[in-house]
Each structure stands twice: as C-alpha cells, then as structure tokens.
Amino acid sequence: MNRFSARRQNWRKVINIVMLSFTGLATLLVVTPLIWIIGYVIREGLPAINLQFFTELPTPVGVSGGGIANALVGSLMTVSLGLIIAVPVGTLAGVYAATHPDQPLGTLLRFGTDVISGVPSIVMGIFAYTLIVLPQRHFSAFSGGIVLAFIMVPTIVRSTEEMIRLVPNSLREGSLALGAAEWKTSLSVILPAALNGVITGVMLAIARAAGEAAPMLFTAFGNPFMNTDFNQPVSTLPHMIFVYAIAPYDDWRAKAWATALVLITLVLLLNVAARLLVWWRGRLFKSLK
Amino acid sequence: MQSPLQIQTSLKENILDSENQNIKMQIENLSIFYRDFRAVANVSMTIYAKKIVAIIGPSGCGKSTLLRSFNRMNDLVSGSHIEGQVYLDGEPLYERNVDVVDVRRRIGMVFQRPNPFPKSIYDNVAYGPRLYGVNRKSDLDEIVERSLKQAALWDEVKNKLHQSGLSISGGQQQRLCIARAIAVQPEVILMDEPASALDPISTLKIEELMHEIVKDYTIIIVTHNMQQAARVSNYTAMMMIDEQRAGRMIEFNDTNIIFTNPKDKRTEDYVTGRFG
C-alpha cells in the first residue's frame, strides 16, 4: 500500500469519526430532554401517589387526601368511545385508500386526513361543541368521545394505509386468483398481514387522544364527582392536570404532577401491552398444534 | 391397441363429440393491450383437457401476460384490455355478464414466487374452500389432506399443519401454493414459471407432481426453461416478439415436434440454444 492511499484511508477515518459524533450528538440532544422530562415528572409526582390517589375523588382546597378516580373513569369512557368509533372507520378507510390509490375518493381521503390532523385539537373541540353540546344543551362524556374519535381517525387511516401498502402485491394476487372478492382479500389476507403495523398506529392514536386537554374543555367539560353516565360531563386525566396545575396551592400542584405521571405510565403500559400482544400472536401462531 | 379401421369408424362417429369433450380452452385471435400498447398480438390456440401445455419464449415476449389473460388476472392492471376471445368449455370468458370470481375458481393459478398467506399451512389450503362455503371441520380436514397429498407435501407437513405457511422452505411453500390452488378443484391450473425461484431438487418435485395431477387437471405452464418444457409438457407454444414489440405465437405444436422438428426457423434457433 503506498502513502497516498494510506492518507486517504486516514482521512476517511477522520470523516467517519466526525459524522459519527454529529449523529451521536443529535441523538443525545433528543434523548436528554426526554429523560429529563420523565425524570422530573417522576420526582415531582411520585410522592403524591398512593392507593387513595387512585380510588378517591378530588377534595376541596385544604382538605388532605383525595385522588383522581373520577378522571380515570372519565378518560376510560371517552377514549373507549373514541376507539370504538375510530378503529373500524379508520382501518376500513385506510384499506380503501391503500387498495384504490387512483380513485378520486382515495385522494380526497388522503387530503382530508392530512387537513384534519393539521387542525388544532382545540378547534375540534369547538366544532364538537357546536355540533353536539349546543343542540343537547349540556356537556357530556359522549361529546368528548366523539372529539377523540375525530382526533384518532387521521392517525389510524394513515398508518393503516402505509402498512397495507407494505404488504406484497403477490399476496393480494394469490387471494384474487383463488376467486376471492376484493373486500374478502382485503379483510382476510391483507389486513391480518398488516395487523402489527395497524395496531401500532392505533396505539399512537390512543396515546395522542388520551393526552388531549383542550377539546375536553368544550365537550366532556370536567366533573369533580364520579360519573359513569355518557350523557353527563366527566373529568379526564389531562383536564385534571390542567385544573390542578393552574391552582395556586402547592398541594394541588403536586397532584398535577402525580396525575401527569399516571397518564404517562398508562400510555407506556398500553404501548408495552400492544407490543406483547403482537409478539404473543406471532408466538401462538408458530407453536399452536 | 385399436386397428386403424376401428379408429377410422370411431372418428367418424364421434368426431364432433370427442373434439368437444377434449377441448378445454380455446383462445381465439387474442390481443392484449396496456392502454395503446399491444403486448400480445393475435394469439390463437386450442388447449386439450388433462394435458400440459408449455408456453416458451425469450424474456419479455408476453408469455406471462398471455397466461394471466386466461383467468382474467390482467383485469387488475388498470388500462389493460383485450381483443379476441377466450373460451372455457365453449363459453366465452370475456363477456359483460361473466362472473370473474367464477372464472378464477375454475381456472386456478400458481405464481412465479411462492406466495403463501401469512396464515397456518392448514388455513392456507382451507382458504379457497372456505370462500365457497365449506365450513364443516371434517370436510375441511378432508380437503386439506387430499390437496396436500396431491401436491406431494402431506408427509412433510402433516405434523405441523398449524405452523405458519411461511415457516417452510421455498420449495415446500410453492407446493403449498399448488395445494391451495388444487383445494378449490379448478378445471385448469395456470403456472407462471412456478419453479424459477426454486433449487433443482424442488424443481424436480414440482415437475413430478405436475405429471401426477395432470390426470385430473389441465395445466398451462409458462417457463423460460426449455428443458423443463420438454420434460413436462404435451404441447408447446413458442412465442416471439415482433417488430412492434408485440408478443406473437410463432408455433404451437406437439412438444416432440417443437423440440425435434420445428417448422419455424426461429423456434429451431431458440430450442437449440442459438439465442434467447
């Protein structure tokens, strides 16, 4: 090897180290605030968390104890209602968009979901307020669920579409060549093949919807008491964070941190659960006799 | 053995009948277009029941396009249309009132790359029968076993029917796809270079199984492997591309004649390996 090529090799090593440092630095820049935020929430929130925090209702100022049982139930109600609406609508629309890319309706759908996902969630809240709350003349968990469905649908549609596009066309042809109709092919071959990705998309949508506070101010409104009636207002976790955090009492602010910690943990658990489900499905599929 | 005289009389008596019975498909002056481009031009051929027909020719001469028009898979390509007609048992396939689903049930297809569904081996084979309303477990069990046996795969997978169809080897996957096609008991099976992605031993197995199932099915196979065409087929169609880049059938005859005494100079050049 002559000196010239050795020099080039050294230069290449230098460039490699520099580029690696840049990418590493960028990664650090992303990860640091993430860990910082989570660490801070844990530090501030953990002391206020005990069993009562999950089982009791909020207490008036000055009264010790109290928890977020109402908000846990409220979040569960609104997010579940949103899911029940958004998952079938979103996945089916995603299937349509992926299998009919040239149709005007598919283009319209893509455009529509892009626009909706760009609309600030507070605008969605006002929209639902005008559409549901005003005619009904009262706030309700129902209207909150509808807003969350609106917020979840675009994410689910787009992720479903992307995942289905990744399914090889040969599978689709294999099914059609057996005489299966298009819808049958989509539902029983293509959607299952893309299921892991679709579930991930749904999880992302839940995580986003579960953290929405702004639209809840106009719909589910908030409720310091326990309520399981879809026709009555409920409190939700993000709304509870908002109420506790803007209060001028140290006790309440600690509860805001604690609620935030609960919300983050729940979303994380949901994500882990989804991954486990996907993994378990794969395993079950291989080992079942 | 029949004496020539006997054959003569029986021919006289049954000439129409026997011909009608034996002809499975007829392709009549078929041209296939992608928008304005004519990919296949003026193909006519007669396909006899329970025989293997091979379609050979150089790459890009429209073999696959032609094959995919036989069960209307080309319909899936937007902008494709045809002129001419394809008949199955004397009934035209390209008519307004023809149900494509029914066409594809009667004319099955095996693709170049094995494409088992991401389901269990059992569910792969049962997929077709379930489409047509077979739901009783005992019936499905029977169909799955019979189809896998016909596809010479049963012994290798009978203990792992509920494992993923993707967990077996490529050659096994292709035989699974053949079993899946057989399960709906089609009349014709189209094979689009079914062994081109497989190793020689798997290829041999596929060819053996073709010889086995041709007792019950009519098979049309596209292959770029001339030895394969010579080994497996009863009839061979030779395709070439013309000056307008349209695929044309230049010769269609008994496989023996195509490989030993072709009428067309281009066929002779191709089968003797002088080009292609």
Parse chain B into domains and list their residue ranges. Answer: 4-14+22-271
Residue range(s) defining the domain that contains residue A40: 2-48
- CA distance, residue A48 to nearest chain B CA (Å): 48
pLDDT of B222 reads 94
pLDDT at residue B7 is higher than 50: no
pLDDT at residue B8 is higher than 50: no
- The complex's ipTM? 0.84
pLDDT digits (tens, 9 = 90+) for B120-152: 999 999 999 999 989 999 999 999 999 999 898
User: Per-residue DSSP letters for A170-221?
Assistant: HHHHHHHHTT--HHHHIIIIIHHHTHHHHHHHHHHHHHHHHT--HHHHHTTB
Q: Is there a single domain that holds both residue A14 and residue A101?
A: no
Mean pLDDT of A83-110: 90
Mean pLDDT of A9-38: 93
Do A173 and B111 make contact, defined as CB atoms within 8 angstroms? yes
Percent of chain B with pLDDT over 70: 92
Q: Is there a single domain that holds both residue A240 and residue A112?
A: yes
Sign of CA dihedral A47, A52, A53, A58: negative
Number of structural domains found in chain A: 2
pLDDT of B11 reads 42
Of A174, A192, A288, the CB nearest to B162: A288
Question: Quick check: A101 contacting B, CB < 8 Å?
Answer: no
pLDDT of B60 reads 85
SS3 at position A234: strand
Q: Is there a single domain that holds both residue A201 and residue A231?
A: yes
Q: Is there a single domain that holds both residue A55 and residue A198?
A: yes
pLDDT digits (tens, 9 = 90+) for A45-88: 999 889 888 988 888 887 888 889 999 999 999 999 999 999 99
| Count of residues in chain A | 289
pLDDT at residue B5 is higher than 50: no
pLDDT at residue A129 is higher than 70: yes
- Determine the residue of chain A that is closest to B159 in CA distance: A289
pLDDT at residue A287 is higher than 90: no
Q: Is there a single domain that holds both residue A90 and residue A32?
A: no
Task: Sort strands B247-254 and B52-56 into parallel, antiparallel or unpaired.
Answer: unpaired
Mean pLDDT of A11-38: 94
pLDDT digits (tens, 9 = 90+) for B93-112: 999 899 988 899 999 999 99
Question: Quick check: A168 contacting B, CB < 8 Å?
Answer: yes
How does residue A19 score in pLDDT terms, banded at 50, 70 and 90? very high
- CA distance, residue B257 to nearest chain A CA (Å): 33
Q: Is there a single domain that holds both residue A43 and residue A67?
A: no
pLDDT of A283 reads 61
| Count of residues in chain B | 276
pLDDT digits (tens, 9 = 90+) for B30-82: 999 998 899 999 999 999 999 999 999 888 888 999 999 999 998 888 889 99
Residue B54's beta-bridge partner residues? B221, B236
Residue A274: how many CA atoms within 13 Å on its side-chain side?
19
Sort out which chain B residues have CB atoms less than 8 A from A164's CB and list them.
Answer: none
Q: Residue B115 class from Cβ within 10 Å (0-12 exposed, 13-18 middle, 19+ buried)?
A: buried
**CATH at A211:** 1.10.3720.10
Of B120, B131, B162, the CB nearest to A180: B131
Question: Quick check: A169 contacting B, CB < 8 Å?
Answer: no
Q: Is there a single domain that holds both residue A246 and residue A284?
A: yes
pLDDT at residue B197 is higher than 80: yes
Closest CA to B41 of B68, B66, B58: B66
Do A178 and B76 make contact, defined as CB atoms within 8 angstroms? no
Of B76, B164, B177, the CB nearest to A176: B76
- CA distance, residue A120 to nearest chain B CA (Å): 39
Closest CA to B55 of B273, B270, B275, B274: B270
For tokens 């050979």, what's the residue?
B56
pLDDT digits (tens, 9 = 90+) for A168-184: 888 999 999 998 988 88
Among A163, A169, A176, A178, pick the best mutation site for testing chain B contact (most B Cβ within 10 A).
A178
How does residue B198 score in pLDDT terms, banded at 50, 70 and 90? confident
**Tokens coding B215:** 């007792």
Question: Quick check: B200 contacting A, CB < 8 Å?
Answer: no
Do B164 and A177 make contact, defined as CB atoms within 8 angstroms? no
Q: Is there a single domain that holds both residue A40 and residue A93?
A: no
pLDDT at residue A226 is higher than 60: yes
Mean pLDDT of A202-206: 90
Of A170, A176, A178, the CB nearest to B180: A178
Q: Is there a single domain that holds both residue A63 and residue A39?
A: no
**Tokens coding A245:** 């955090």
- Determine the residue of chain A that is closest to B110 in CA distance: A174
Average of per-residue pLDDT values in chain B: 87
End-to-end CA distance of chain B: 41
Q: Is there a single domain that holds both residue A43 and residue A95?
A: no
A56: part of which helix (H) or strand (E)?
Answer: none
pLDDT digits (tens, 9 = 90+) for B220-245: 999 988 889 999 999 999 999 888 88
- CA distance, residue A110 to nearest chain B CA (Å): 21
pLDDT of B13 reads 42
- CA distance, residue A171 to nearest chain B CA (Å): 6
Over the Cα atoms of chain A, what is R_g? Answer: 24
Do A192 and B111 make contact, defined as CB atoms within 8 angstroms? no
Among B72, B98, B101, pick the best mutation site for testing chain A contact (most A Cβ within 10 A).
B101
**d(C-alpha B123, C-alpha B30), whole Å:** 37
How does residue A1 score in pLDDT terms, banded at 50, 70 and 90? low
User: Per-residue DSSP letters for chain B?
Assistant: ---HHHHHHHHHHHHHHHHHHHEEEEEEEEEEEETTEEEEEEEEEEEETT-EEEEE-STTSSHHHHHHHTTTGGGGSTTEEEEEEEEETTEESSSTT--HHHHHHHEEEE-SS----SSBHHHHHHHHHHHTT---HHHHHHHHHHHHHHTT-HHHHTT-TTSBTTSS-HHHHHHHHHHHHHTT--SEEEEESTTTTS-HHHHHHHHHHHHHHTTT-EEEEE-S-HHHHHHH-SEEEEEEE-TTS-EEEEEEEEHHHHHHS-SSHHHHHHHTTS--
End-to-end CA distance of chain A: 60
- In words, the CATH class of domain B4-14+22-271 is alpha beta
Phi, psi of B114 (to 5 degrees): -55, 130
CB neighbours of A184 closer than 8 A, spacing ≥ 6? A175, B131
SS3 at position A20: helix
Provide the CA A69 distance to its chain's centre, in angstroms: 22
How does residue B9 score in pLDDT terms, banded at 50, 70 and 90? very low
- CA distance, residue B107 to nearest chain A CA (Å): 8
- CA distance, residue B115 to nearest chain A CA (Å): 6
Q: Is there a single domain that holds both residue A20 and residue A82?
A: no
Closest CA to B248 of B85, B57, B84, B79: B57
pLDDT of B202 reads 87
pLDDT digits (tens, 9 = 90+) for B145-157: 999 998 989 999 9
Do A171 and B117 make contact, defined as CB atoms within 8 angstroms? yes
**d(C-alpha B156, C-alpha B161), whole Å:** 10
CA distances A42 to A46, A211, A251, B132, Å, are: 5, 17, 16, 57
pLDDT digits (tens, 9 = 90+) for A242-279: 999 998 988 889 999 999 999 999 988 888 888 887 77
pTM greater than 0.90: no
pLDDT at residue A284 is higher than 60: no
Name the DSSP letter for residue A133. Answer: I
Question: Quick check: A284 contacting B, CB < 8 Å?
Answer: no
CB neighbours of B32 closer than 8 A, spacing ≥ 6? B38, B39, B40, B62, B65, B66, B69, B74, B80, B81, B82
Question: Quick check: A285 contacting B, CB < 8 Å?
Answer: yes
**d(C-alpha A97, C-alpha A90), whole Å:** 10
Per DSSP, chain A holds a count of helices (H) and strands (E) of 14, 0
Q: Is there a single domain that holds both residue A88 and residue A44?
A: no
- Whether B47 contacts B23, CB under 8 Å: yes
- CA distance, residue A126 to nearest chain B CA (Å): 43
- Whether B236 contacts B252, CB under 8 Å: yes
Do B104 and A184 make contact, defined as CB atoms within 8 angstroms? no
Sort out which chain B residues have CB atoms less than 8 A from A178's CB and list them.
Answer: 104-105, 108, 127-128, 131, 180-181, 184
Mean pLDDT of B158-175: 91
